[in-house]
């Protein structure tokens, strides 16, 4: 897929206020600092579309971007950031939960994972929860350039083993580096395939 236009629509603090669900929608989520903004900017070839945050946990809204006048790309708040207050964190939880379970045009939720660290409880439990809800998901490993190839493979294998303790079948997985613009086509082709179906 070639991206010709990427337009910021708006930020929403309330799922009910999101744009009419009349286009295919693809959302991105992950722990703060996982590289979500960088990935969105890499995918859309726009260095400033999603704001890369200096302060983790900054995105507290659902942000819609219209791509090629055809589908929505959605930047969701980060989950599991320890230094936001408990009530705010619960707010994130509720908003994410409401959006991911109720948004009828959500075609895929891309869950971003940092492969540099061992499988994190919060990621595994979020993936488990999303799977149990029947939300269509794909896993995107970020920052691949930060690891040697064999380390990357080893860590991804460990992550897959952790997932297979609760999943019978692994979800689609993609490996990316925003720094090196790697994995861009894999994600865009995946989106294309889902839209075509």
Query: Residue for token digits 């930060």?
Result: 146
Q: Does 44 bind ligand GDP (CB under 6 A)?
A: no
Q: How far is the CB of 62 from ligand GDP (least distance, A)?
A: 14
Does position 93 bind ligand GDP by CB under 6 A?
no
What φ, ψ does residue 43 adopt, rounded to 5°?
-60, -40
Task: For the CB of residue 121, give the shortest distance to ligand GDP in the complex, in Å.
Answer: 18
CA-nearest of 117, 107, 133, 146 to 28 is 107
Contact string (CB under 6 A) for ligand GDP, positions 52-81, x = contact: xx--x---------------------x---
Angle at 18 between CA 128 and CA 195, to 5 degrees: 65
> Cα separation of 76 and 113, whole Å?
14
Smallest distance, Å, CB 22 to ligand GDP? 27
DSSP letter at 17 equals G
Q: Which of 3, 33, 105, 131 binds ligand GDP (CB under 6 A)?
A: 33
Span from 8-16, 51-59, 115-123, 125-133 in contact with ligand GDP (CB under 6 A): 51-59
CB 171 within 8 A of CB 126: no
Q: Does 101 bind ligand GDP (CB under 6 A)?
A: no
Answer yes or no: are the C-beta atoms of 3 and 49 closer than 8 Å. no
- Contacts with ligand GDP by CB under 6 A lie at 30, 32-38, 52-53, 56, 78, 142-143, 145-146, 177-179
């Amino acid at each position: 897929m070639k991206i010709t236009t990427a337009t910021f629509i708006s930020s929403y603090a309330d799922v009910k206020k999101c744009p009419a669900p009349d286009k295919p929608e693809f959302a991105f989520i992950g722990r703060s600092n996982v590289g979500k903004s960088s990935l969105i900017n890499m995918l859309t070839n726009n260095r400033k579309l999603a704001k890369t945050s200096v302060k983790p946990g900054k995105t507290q809204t659902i942000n819609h971007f219209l791509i090629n006048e055809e589908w929505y790309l959605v930047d969701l708040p980060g989950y599991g950031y320890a230094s936001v207050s408990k009530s705010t964190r619960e707010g994130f939880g509720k908003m994410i939960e409401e959006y991911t379970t109720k948004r009828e045009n959500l075609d895929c939720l891309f869950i971003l994972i940092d492969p540099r660290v061992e499988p994190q409880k919060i990621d595994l439990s979020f993936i488990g929860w999303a799977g149990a809800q029947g939300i269509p998901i794909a896993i995107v490993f970020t920052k691949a350039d930060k690891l040697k190839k064999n380390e990357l493979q080893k860590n991804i294998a460990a992550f897959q083993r952790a997932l297979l303790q609760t999943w019978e079948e692994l979800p689609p997985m993609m490996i990316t580096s925003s720094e090196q613009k790697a994995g861009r086509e894999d994600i865009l082709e995946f989106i294309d395939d889902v839209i075509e179906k």
